[in-house]
Amino acid sequence: MPRAVPQCLTMLDLVKSVASAQTRVIFALPSLTEGLGAALVAAHDRLPGRVLVVVDPDERVYRVGYGAFQEIKEAYGKGMPLLARHGLRLGCGLIDERAFFLTQPPQLVEAPPDPEVHPVNAVYVEPQIALAFLRGIANGPELDDVLSPDPELSSEAQEDILDRLANSKNADLEAPKALPITDEVLAVTQASLAMAPPMDFQVHRQSMVYTSLLLYVVVELTACRLDNREIVVNKALLPLLGEKADIVGRRSFQLKVDGDLSGLAEIRRRTDILRTKTARSLGKPYGTVLLRRDLDVFEAERKAIEALIELNHPEAIRAFKDGLAPQVEDIRHICLEQCLHTMNDQDIIQALRPQTKDKKELARWERWMETRPSRPDMAVPLGDRIQEALWNNVNQMMRQLTKPKLEVTIREFTLQQMNEDEFRERLLDAFHDKKDLAPFLEDRAVIGKKAKVGSDDTLGLFDEDPAF
């Protein structure tokens, strides 16, 4: 008998052991991995009534990658005896006189083990221990048949006759612990998997390398510029720009900032640092990422920028408005010259008519009109009226100015439809100043390596120890 030592048992090992079975094969596993179903069907054909498998048929098993639903479906379709035991996660095998326990890593979170690190996922046990476990999870007539006495098996590998009778009697009295899988059970699982198919396990495992390392971020600063503002002037104030054919005269004036807007410039500068130095862009299609360990620094700077907005923006608005007076005066002069050039006396007088129903104001205008004012006399109130209209436009423009807003979106990292090698290269290039990043990524390799053919370093679960 081989030593009861920790072992690494691959799914290929299971397939080989089933193919070499002589008397019986019993498995209790969350599910069947690729190739194992066909091996069990062949064993069932070779050893009729001496092969039994207990699995968990729940769709969650296949969604996290404990096995392949297609293996269960095909084995069932070919008459392979299958029992359903919901919640089964600890694997157990009894092949001829060899008994063992093993675990299957869910492929969603872990790749097949790398033999170079001497993994451990299985251990031999005495057959009586495996027999007791199998009775504990699947005691019933199906198990009774497979465990019936066999002259080719030693007494140590079979149940004691009194224990067998007691177990059989208990199975008749108790509710079944594992029922045969049915068409209905498989149909429910298949429909669920069709509705929400399992993820690409390799992509998800690759993503896990970066999930604890990175966050996706989007940083946007809105409404933080005053150097692109303009004032729109009414058509009546610029009559010489009249339309010709399909050409429309431009009636807007760019406003030059004459005040101190260094506060807004500081907000923009620190925002740029936040999204290019604290966080880093990896380019399309990867976007901008932040090292999770830098999240506290990121959030502290984000709050500092928001405090700057509260402090600096009102000051910038006041400085901007204070610097507009000379510009408005220049625009007023242009408008006044055009109006005086194109309007006759009567047009100017009517243009100065108060836009009100106040009788005193109207009476005052009528008395002024009766004095037959000269054009220089008309120019003064006309200039005042134009200046009032311009400042009304300025105030309207100022009301449309909104306070800058720092919009930050942070979400968990995902890696979908990406080239993992290219992504790692982009990441290392973007964070080239983070010298501790490269070793981290190298240490977190997630794709299992192929076993070395012919290696003598590891004793297989079904290998005889040459020392015995």
Q: Which of 115, 209, 128 is nearest to 460 (CA)?
A: 115
Q: How many CB atoms lie within 10 A of CB 23?
A: 14
pLDDT above 60: residue 460:
no
Q: What is the pLDDT of residues 384-416, one digit of tens each?
A: 999 999 999 888 888 888 889 999 999 988 766
Tell me, what's the pLDDT at 243?
A: 55
Q: What is the pLDDT of residues 140-172, one digit of tens each?
A: 999 999 999 999 999 999 988 888 889 888 888
Tell me, what's the pLDDT at 459?
A: 34
Tell me, what's the pLDDT at 458?
A: 36
Q: How many CB atoms lie within 10 A of CB 76?
A: 21
Domain boundaries, the chain: 6-195, 214-405
CATH 3.40.50 fits 6-195, yes or no: no
Pairing of strands 91-95, 25-28: antiparallel
> Cα–Cα distance between 88 and 407 in angstroms, integer?
47
411 has which bridge partners? Answer: 216
Is the pTM value of this prediction over 0.85? no
Tell me, what's the pLDDT at 238?
A: 85
Q: How many CB atoms lie within 10 A of CB 190?
A: 16
Whether residue 312 contacts residue 267, with contact meaning beta carbons closer than 8 Å, is answered with: yes
> Cα–Cα distance between 125 and 17 in angstroms, integer?
16
Sign of CA dihedral 30, 193, 204, 11: positive
Average the pLDDT over each of 33-47, 291-305, 445-459 and give the range with the smallest value: 445-459
